[in-house]
Amino acid sequence: MADADWERRLGLLWSSIDEHGEDQFVAAMQALAAELPPDDAVGRFEQGSAFDSTGHPGLAVARYRRALERGLSGLRRRRAVIQLASSLRNLGQAEESVALLTDELDAGSDELDDAVRAFLVLALPSVRRDREAVSHALTALAPHLPRYNRSLAAYARELA
């Protein structure tokens, strides 16, 4: 497991992503991940994220899957599912994306709930489930409005 100094350096690398070329950023992430034990779940996840963030979702997918298989936990686990589902959608595998995100809605609740719904909203039209996408968008939006929360929640249920 990564220690506080490693996490700090990871944060610095992510905050400087726009200062690096794509290959340079990926190389820096691979070097940082190499400091962790071989096949470490966090290292695999961060490598996958680096590939994803530099426009290489195909290279990210295997790393996300491996991180999840290796027991990635907490918010990183949920982020891995979201990012894996997004990459799969981008690669034309929307059915699997929808399945992952739908399962994730039932996996518990945290600050990433709206992100799960947002990426599900992106995936559902790819499988011709537009009304359901609008329902999820309204469900995510309703709690953030100063008024009309109940009405929008009811309309969202009606659409689904």
Residues 20-79 pLDDT 10s = 999 999 999 999 999 999 889 999 999 999 999 999 999 999 999 999 999 999 999 999
pLDDT at 160 over 80: no
Residue 113 CA to residue 111 CA, distance in Å, equals 6
pLDDT digits (tens, 9 = 90+) for 103-158: 999 988 999 999 999 999 999 999 999 999 999 999 889 888 888 888 888 888 88
Helices 41-53 and 57-69: crossing angle in degrees, nearest 10, is: 160
For residue 11, the tally of other CB atoms under 10 A from its CB is: 10
Provide the token pair at 121: 């909203």
Q: Locate tokens 């996490």: which residue?
A: 7
* Predicted local confidence at residue 40, as pLDDT: 96
Supply the pTM of this predicted model: 0.91
Q: Taking each helix axis as running N to C, give the angle between helix 113-123 and helix 94-105, from 0 to 180 degrees, rounded to the nearest 10.
A: 150
Distances (CA, A) of 109 to 4, 92, 105, 116, 152: 26, 28, 8, 10, 21
* pLDDT of 2 over the 70 cut: no
Comparing CA positions, the residue from 147, 153, 97 lying closest to residue 120 is 97
99 close to 123: Cβ distance less than 8 angstroms: no
pLDDT score, position 1: 56
pLDDT for the residue 73: 95
CB 41 within 8 A of CB 5: no
Q: What is the pLDDT of residue 142?
A: 87
Rounded to whole angstroms, how far apart are CA atoms 58 and 52? 8
Measured CA to CA in angstroms, residue 104 lies from 101, 128, 150 at distances of 5, 20, 24
